[in-house]
Homo-oligomer: A and B are copies of this chain.
């Protein structure tokens, strides 16, 4: 009985926290970090300002929590994609697909709202550099695998491949394209994949393939 009571309270608490996070994200997307004010978050959730501070003791904590959630989700996506079966190309394309879906949805836009707040940078760096690095190294492993299997051109430094790929993974131009619905995420994956994988393909193997 008591247990269920506690977990009910706890569940309500979690629920409210979700509402707060949701409202914050909304406002963040509309107005950015500075323009978002705690009064409005509270008002939009329908709670008092003080209540907000029972969940997040600083404005920073609120957006950091939001970001943490996003990054965890992304990292999870990356890890799933990376450890999936199939060719390196297909796995990277899965990543592109995930990212473009995200870019189109609200979550993806959050990053753009937050990365702009220069004063958050120190916080973002100190708490999330690790995550970003992890993300990049996962990709790196995959790209090296592609090189080892002869799929990718060994003449192109992995660093460059890596950063080129991540430039294509989350870019402002693509975000606009997707939001304007000029292309679907699927089309984008198809064409960007085509360009990138042709671009990094091992010419040797291409030659062999062209013979086939």
Is A55 close to B, CB under 8 A?
Answer: no
- Please tell me which one of the listed residues B34, B157, B201 contacts residue A117 in the complex, with CB atoms under 8 A apart: B34
CB contacts (< 8 Å) of A187 on chain B: these are 160
Residues 22-45 (chain A) with a chain B CB within 8 angstroms: 28-35
With an 8 Å Cβ cutoff, the count of chain A residues facing the other chain is 47
Is A7 close to B, CB under 8 A?
Answer: no
Residue interface mask A163-176, B partner, CB < 8 A = 1: 11011100111101
- Please tell me which one of the listed residues B112, B183, B199 contacts residue A196 in the complex, with CB atoms under 8 A apart: B199
User: Given A171-B171, A191-B156, A210-B207, A118–B118 Cβ distance below 8 Å?
Assistant: no
Residues of A within 8 A of B (CB): 28-35, 112-113, 115-119, 156-157, 159-161, 163-164, 166-168, 171-174, 176-177, 182-183, 187-188, 191-192, 194-201, 207, 210
